[in-house]
Amino acid sequence: MDKNKYIVKRFLDLIFGVMLSFLFMFGKRKNRIIFNSVLNKNFDNNSKYYFLYLLRNHCKYELKFVVNDDRQRTDAISRYGEHFITSRGIKNKIYILNAKYWITSSLETPVGGVFLRKNRKVINLGHGMPYKLVGLQERNLSKLKKVYYKLINTNFDYFLSTTEFYSSVIQKSFGCNADRVIIAPQPRMSALKNEFLDLHRTEIFKNNKNILYAPTWRRNGKLKLFTFWSNISSLDDFLVKHETVIWLRLHPHFEFDTDISSLRNIRLFSGKEYPDINQYLYVFDGLITDYSSVFLDFLFFNRPIYFSEYDKKEYINDNGIISNSGKVKPENPLLNEIDFQEMLYQINRGNSVNYTEFNKNANYVIDNENDDNCRVLHEILNSKFY
Q: For residue 197, what pLDDT is reported?
A: 56
CA distance 151 to 155: 8
Q: How much is the pLDDT for 1?
A: 45
Q: Kindly report the pTM of this predicted structure.
A: 0.89
* C-alpha to C-alpha distance for 268 and 251, rounded to whole angstroms: 11
Distance (Å, rounded) from C-alpha 66 to C-alpha 92?
10
Cα gap 35→141, rounded to integer Å: 29
According to DSSP, the β-strands at 30-35 and 99-104 are parallel
Contact call for residues 296 and 131 (beta carbons, < 8 A):
yes
Domains and CATH numbers, the chain: 5-186+371-384 (3.40.50.11820), 194-362 (3.40.50.12580)
Mean pLDDT by runs of 10 across the 386 residues of the chain is 59 72 82 95 94 91 97 95 96 95 95 92 96 92 88 95 97 96 94 62 83 88 90 96 96 74 94 85 95 95 96 92 96 96 94 91 81 90 84
pLDDT computed for residue 156 by the predictor:
97
Diameter over CA atoms, the chain: 67
- Please give the pLDDT value at position 204: 81
For the chain, the distance separating the N- and C-terminal CA atoms, rounded to the nearest angstrom, is: 42
Question: Cα–Cα–Cα angle for 248, 254, 256, nearest 5°?
Answer: 75
Report the sign of the C-alpha dihedral through residues 227, 229, 231, 232, in that order: negative
Closest CA to 186 of 40, 381, 364: 364
Q: CB–CB of 158/350 below 8 Å? A: no
Q: Are 245 and 267 in contact (CB under 8 A)?
A: yes
Residue type, position 161, single letter: S
Mapping DSSP onto H, E and C, the string for the chain reads: CCCCHHHHHHHHHHHHHHHHHHHCCCCCCEEEEEECCHHHCCCCHHHHHHHHHHHHCCCCCEEEEECCCHHHHHHHHHHHCCCEECCCCHHHHHHHHCEEEEEECCCCCCCCCCCCCCCCEEEECCCCCCCECCHHHCCCCCHHHHHHHHHHHHHCCEEEECCHHHHHHHHHHHCCCHHHEEECCCHHHHHHCHHHCCHHHCHHHCCCEEEEEECCCCCCCCCCCCCCCCCHHHHHHHHHHCCEEEEECCCCCCHHHCCCCCCCCEEECCCCCCCCHHHCHHHCCEEEECCCCHHHHHHHHCCCEEECCCCHHHHHHHCCECCCHHHCCCCCECCCHHHHHHHHHHHHHCCCCCCHHHHHHHCCCCCCCCCCHHHHHHHHHHHHCC
User: In the prediction, which pLDDT does 278 show?
Assistant: 87
Question: What does the radius of gyration of the chain's CA atoms come to, in whole angstroms?
Answer: 21
